[in-house]
Amino acid sequence: TSTSRYVTRKSTGEPIIIGTNTSVRAIVGLWRLGTSPEEIPNCLPHLTLAQVFDALSFYQDNQAEINEYIDRNRVPEHLIHPAVKAAIQNL
């Protein structure tokens, strides 16, 4: 697994931003929804742009691992409220 200036691992092994409890998967999730890297600190104001870019770089080097964390933490389809489903489909 790659090392990174701003990414470390929780005791569970999941990659997070050093000094925060923000997971790389959370940053990747925003990015996948179409949020530009420059806009992500507006959503997560405790992060710097450098931390965001480093997290995305870490993801590029470790996609299979991060995708596994994303899949493992996905809310089951039957638990998603219909209004949320409609909003997501309209993105």
Q: Which are the contacts of 24, defined by CB distance < 8 A and separation ≥ 6?
A: 7, 14, 15, 16, 17, 55, 58, 59, 66, 69
Q: Which are the contacts of 8, defined by CB distance < 8 A and separation ≥ 6?
A: 15, 16, 17, 18
Segment 63-81, tens digit of pLDDT: 999 999 998 887 677 777 7
pLDDT at res. 79: 75
pTM of the entire predicted model: 0.80
CA distance 40 to 53: 10
Query: Is the pLDDT at 56 greater than 80, yes or no?
Result: yes
Positions of E strands within the chain:
7-9, 15-17
